[in-house]
Structure formats: C-alpha cells, structure tokens
Structure 1
Amino acid sequence: MDRRKFIASGAALGLTTTAFGYSSEKSVKAKEKRFQNGRSPWPICLDTATIRTAKSLEEKVDIAIKAGYDAIEPWDGELAEYEKSGGNLKELGKKIKDNGLFVPSMIGLWGCIPENEEAFQKSLPETRNRMRMASEVGCKYVQAIPNKVGDNYDTRFVSSCYKRLLDIGINEYNVIPAIVFVEMFPLKTMGQATAVALDASHPQACIIPDVFHMYISKGGFDGLKSLRGDMFAIFQFNDAPKGMSIDEMKDKDRVYPGDGILPLPQILKDLKSTGFKGCVSLELYNPEYHKQDLLEVAKTGLEKTLQTIEKAGV
C-alpha cells in the first residue's frame, strides 16, 4: 500500500493525519488562552465604582490585587486626585503591572462630544488631559462618554468628533477612545453607539457594551452576536435586580452577576461567538455593597462573575 492510500485508509477508520506526525489547519486548533486558572476565556476586571467608598485609589488597586482580578478600571477623577495628592501615575501603573494586573480602560472622557464645533474645540484641553492620565497609568482604551451630545444630536457630527478623538488619542497619547452608551444620556443604545463608530470610518473605532444599559435602554441583547468581537473595547458586566420595573431601574440598583434577572449565560455565549478577546469588567454602583467590607465585595463579585461564565459553558 502506498503512502497516500495508507493515510486515506486511516481516515476511513476515524484517524487523522496527526496520528502519523502530520497536521493541518483543520485538524489542529490553537489552544485558547484562559484566565482565572482556566475558568474564563476573558480576563476579569474590577471597575473601581464597585468599591467606590475605598479611601484612595491606591487602596482600590490593593483590593483588586488581593481579590485576584486580572485588571482594574479606574475613573478619571480618581487619577486626578491621585496626582493632586502627589502620586505619580506611571509609578502606579508599574505597581499594577508588577502585581500581574493591567489597566484596560479609564472612565472617562466626559463631555468630549458636545453639541457643536465651538464647544468641541473648547472641550479638547480637558479631553487631552484625561487622555494623558489614561496613558500614564497604562490604559489601552479610554471611554468616550457622549453625555453632552444633545437630545437631537446629529450622528454625522458626533461621528466626526469621535473620529478626531480617535486620531488625537492614538497619535498623541497611545490610547484608543471607545464610545459608551448610557440610557440616561441622549446616546442610549448599543445600536446608536455602533452607528457612531461605523460612521467614524476609522479602523480603531469601537464601543463599550454594558449589559445593564443594554437592558434598561430596551435595545436588547440579540444585536450582540451580529457584531465582531474586535468592535468591543471591554464588556461591562453586572445584573439587573428582581422585583423592579425596568423604567425605575438606575445604576445604583445593579446587583452581582447571577443575583438578578438578566440572561447572562446566553449573553456570554453570544459574546464568545463574536470572537471577543478583551476584559469582562465588573461594574456595580450599589450603595448596599459600599457599606460592606470592600475586599469581600470584590471577591464576591469576582466569584459570581466566574460562576456565571462557567454556567454559560464558554
């Protein structure tokens, strides 16, 4: 029997060419990188809003390290206060990295896309300063928050501003602005944020979904699997409470993943199908959690996030 017939007969018996020391793109799949001792396909990040009442940014970093997170997501006000009190953001970024964590994103560029060109130009100095802080602490992304676009915003103008923010962020500070959508702001849904990103016509344009705002904006979750994973900078994670009308829900009402009503396992399955490789970031604002031991809150949030990921089977 010649070599080709031998290999073909092996395939007929359910064998593959790898059994004979050969491989192909179809028969060998690259092993997927896992995090949290193999429990997650994504690194898990702690949004510092979850432990907002900690005394300082340094304490929040220490909590994230002790709780076992892969990353931490700070807010601009925390970075500004840290500098004001004499702290060095580059040194803080080094501490985070030396302890095995990273900083995927900073919240955020408030008012970076206002209603008109004059206001946009006036906003740039503060926007640049926030980008600088994000860059110095080691962020890859910075959240572009459209809280001042106006109720009757022009998508073309918003996209134009966003494209210019991308150019400034990438070329001057090595950070990538990512569009946020928030039900309480004029730009409310994932569809609206995606339209802005697409119309910016920029290769690095991206958005930041948040399951809570996907829900309370009534934009839903089905659109998630229609997008590619590299469209998402990070993925904000939490749950919506039981026994409350959707129209009454506010950020403070968020609960631990798995303690509420959102179809989180299916959402994570859909997220996985997009090819998303970034952080899943736990973002809670619940004042009841803020009254508790914050290290335990962080640990509980991490474990409940991992349990939800495991339930999704991804």
Structure 2
Amino acid sequence: MKLAFNEGTTWESASLQQNLEYCEKYGYDYIEIRAIDQLKDYLKENTLGDLKEYFDTHKIKPLSLNALCFFNNRTKEDEEKVIEEFKEYLEICKKIDCEYICVVPSNIDVTEKGKTLIEEINASCIRVLSHLSDLAKPYGVKIALEFIGIQENTVNTFSQAYNIVKDVNRDNVGLVYDTFQFTGMGSRFEDVTDETAEKIFIFHINDVDGYPVGQMRDTDRVWPGHGVIDLEAHLKRLKELKYDFVASVELFRPEYYQMDPEEVIKKAKETTLEVLEKYYK
C-alpha cells in the first residue's frame, strides 16, 4: 500500500511548495493537489513545468487533482462552467502526469431550492459523469467520484455513489472510498460487495469525533486511530477486496491548521501507518 497526503490536511497553514517538500522529506509516495486554491497560488510564481520538474526529480508523485466541485444538478450555465473547469484540469493532468481527478457532488439547500428526488440527482450525475468520461478518455485520466457524508449533499452514501458509477459503466469512472464520508451518513459495509472492488480508485483514510450520524462535519476529523471510526473494519474489507493501491490521509481539523505544517505531515504519516500496519506493509 502506497501512502498519499491530501493537501486539505494543511489547507490553511502551508503552500503546495511546502507540502511537496515536507511530503518528500517524510517519504510519502503521492500528493493530492488542491487545484481549487493551493495549485492556483503556486502558479502565481511558478509554472506547471516547474511542478512537473519537481515530480520528475523527487520520489513524491501526483495522485489526483482535488477536486472538481458540485458538478451535478446545476443550471445549464453553471454546468457549462463546470465542464470548462474540467477541461482545464485535464490539461493540467497532461502536463504533470496526474492520473486522477476527484469530483464532488453538489449540495442542495432545500430551504432555497426545495427537495430534489434521488431519481433526478442520479440521472444528473450519470449524464454529467458520462460526458466527463468522454472528455477524459483521450488524456488517459480517471474520474473518482467522492460521495460526501452530510445530509445536504446529493450523493451521501457509498451505495448511492456506487450505483451511479455502475450505471455510468465506464472504465475511467470510479469511486473515492473515504472513511469519514462513509461514517458521516451511515454507509453500510454490506454494500461494499465484491462487485464494487474494481471501482474503488482512491482510498481516503481519516477518523472523526463521536458525533451522531448526520451531524459529523469535516472539521470534526482527527488523526487516524484517534476517533470513533472502526478503521480496522474498513482495512479488513479493503484487504478482502484485494485493494492495495494507496491510502491518502485527509483531515480538515482547525486545530491542525494552527500547528506547524511539517509536524502535521509527520504526525499524519505516523498515525496512518500505525493503523495500516496490521493489514498492509
């Protein structure tokens, strides 16, 4: 199992350049790049050529651009903007040899827009993801759908996300399996069947404080092994599915943003390896 670092973990405390240097120092294999902000900041003074050169001359490699946000159930105008953003991401992937783009479903404010039927949500996701798949195919890029385990998100369980990906039925469209998102809205292990194995593209590992289902938020995440998630159950299931690609640590805890980012990156690795070592080398 390879180890990756998601930049959300030092979102407010470190630049992409710092994250690269610290991840290289502490032996991470991959980094998930926050294309929505940290990459943009990096490109104010650097080029994609500079970034490619860094990856070419160091151990650390790009895992994904994270993320294309809120792609489904949009107005026609907003959807067109999402498509254009995705095209820009594809060009970035081409220039830095990045294989994955993570995509995040939309939140819906029911007080503003009213309720939306699951049938309408899933149909929108399938249609847009199919289009994105067509665009990504010539680039050799894969799309990883990350369901979001909060009530207001349109795709908030593993089962719903897998069924969408299954209906899209493209080799380059799969899932992000995130332990926090899985826990947040009570996704069920029985839905992680053998059939789902080939569609799990990226594994996000994290933990969370013990709030009820439906009340957990990103800011409640904690170091792996320091919360209430049964991480051993997740790892056991992934091992049974023969998943052995990457574990990417992703935390959004405000207290961690106040820490020295080097210490955060170091501790994130230590705590993740402590959990992984029972099942993976």
After TM superposition, is the score higher than 0.5?
yes
Where does residue 218 of structure 1 map in the other structure? 186
1:130 counterpart = 2:98? no
Partner amino acid, structure 2, of 1:250? R
Question: Paired residue for 2:213, among 243, 246, 256?
Answer: 246
Partner amino acid, structure 1, of 2:140? N
1:79 counterpart = 2:39? yes
1:182 counterpart = 2:148? yes
1:202 counterpart = 2:162? no
Q: By how many angstroms is 1:118 displaced?
A: 5.6
Query: 2:13–2:260: 8 Å Cα contact kept in structure 1?
Result: no
Moved more, 105-114 or 289-298: 105-114
Distance 1:151 1:136 in 2: 38
Distance 1:157 1:296 in 2: 42
More strand by share: 2
- Counting only pairs closer than 5 Å after superposition, residues 34-53 of structure 1 correspond to structure 2 as 42-53=1-12
Where does residue 264 of structure 2 map in the other structure? 297
Partner amino acid, structure 2, of 1:181? F
Query: 2:149–2:214: 8 Å Cα contact kept in structure 1?
Result: no
Where does residue 268 of structure 1 map in the other structure? 235
Distance 2:121 2:224 in 1: 35
Query: 2:185–2:214: 8 Å Cα contact kept in structure 1?
Result: no
Where does residue 123 of structure 2 map in the other structure? 156
Moved more, 110-119 or 193-202: 110-119
Helix, strand or coil: the match of 1:179? strand
Alpha carbons of structure 1 residues 88 and 292: separation in structure 2 relative to 1, 3 Å: same
Where does residue 32 of structure 1 map in the other structure? none
Residues 172-218 of structure 1: CA deviation (Å, up to 9, x unaligned): x3321221100231111111111111111212220111100100111
TM-score by length of 1: 0.79
Distance 2:164 2:51 in 1: 33
Query: 2:184–2:215: 8 Å Cα contact kept in structure 1?
Result: no
**Unmatched 5+ residue regions in structure 1?**
1-41
Helix, strand or coil: the match of 1:129? helix
Q: By how many angstroms is 1:53 displaced?
A: 2.6
Partner amino acid, structure 2, of 1:211? T
Which structure would you say has the larger RCO, counting Cα contacts within 8 Å and 6 or more residues apart?
2
TM-score by length of 2: 0.88
1:193 counterpart = 2:161? yes
Distance 1:216 1:59 in 2: 31
The alignment's C-alpha RMSD in Å is 2.1
**Unmatched 5+ residue regions in structure 2?**
109-114
Query: 2:204–2:248: 8 Å Cα contact kept in structure 1?
Result: yes
How many residue pairs get matched?
270
Partner amino acid, structure 2, of 1:183? G
